[in-house]
Chains A and B, each alone.
Chain A
Amino acid sequence: MAREQDKAWRTVRRFIFFLITSILILLFILWRVDNQRVERFRFALIDQIIPNSSFFLSPISKLVKMVSDFQSYSQLYQKNQDLKRELQKMKGWKETALQLEQKNTQLSILNNVKLSPNLSWVTGEVLADSGSPFSKSILLNIGMRDGVKDGYAATDGFGLIGRISGVGEKTSRVLFLTDVSSSIPVVIRTNGERGLVIGDNTQNPILSFIETPKNIKAGMRIVTSGEGKVLPPDLLLGNVALDTDGTLRVILAADFNSLKYLRVLINPDQEIPQEPGKLIIN
Chain B
Amino acid sequence: MHLKNIESSITQKLVFICLSFVLTILLMTPISILAPNQPFPDLLTCFIFAFFISNKLNVPISGVFLVSLLADFLWFRPLGLFTFFMVLGIELIRWHLQTRNSISFLLEITYFSLFFVIISLCVSIVEFIMAIPTAHYSFSINFVIFTLLTYPATSVLVRFFHTQKRSKYES
Contact = CB atoms under 8 A, between A and B. Distances in A.
A53 B143 CA distance: 27
A226 interface: no
Given A56-B22, A128-B30, A133-B42, A20 B35 contact: no
Nearest to B127: A282
Nearest to A126: B30
Interface string A37-72: 010001001100110010011001100100000000
B35 A203 contact: yes
Interface in B4-61: 22, 25-26, 28-35, 37, 39-40, 42, 61
A57 B139 contact: no
A259 B33 contact: yes
Interface in A66-104: none
Interface stretch (B72-80, B149-157, B158-166): B72-80
Contact of B26 (A45, A56, A256, A257): A56
A174 to B, nearest CB: 10
A173 B61 contact: no
Interface stretch (A175-183, A184-192, A212-220, A227-235): A175-183
B135 A57 contact: no
A282 B133 contact: yes
Nearest to A26: B80
A132 B35 contact: no
A138 B32 CA distance: 11
B84 interface: yes
Contacts of A9: none
Interface of A: 13, 16-17, 20-21, 23-28, 30-32, 38, 42, 45-46, 49-50, 53, 56-57, 60-61, 64, 126-139, 173, 176, 178, 180-181, 200-203, 256-257, 259, 281-282
10 A-B pairs closest in CB distance = A27-B80, A133-B39, A28-B80, A24-B84, A31-B79, A128-B28, A24-B80, A178-B35, A132-B75, A129-B30
8 contacts: A20-B87, A25-B80, A25-B84, A31-B79, A38-B79, A128-B29, A134-B140, A176-B35
Given A128-B30, A281-B133, A282-B133, 20 more contacts: A16-B61, A16-B62, A17-B91, A24-B65, A24-B69, A24-B80, A27-B80, A28-B78, A49-B25, A57-B30, A64-B31, A126-B30, A126-B33, A130-B74, A130-B75, A131-B75, A133-B42, A133-B135, A181-B133, A256-B34
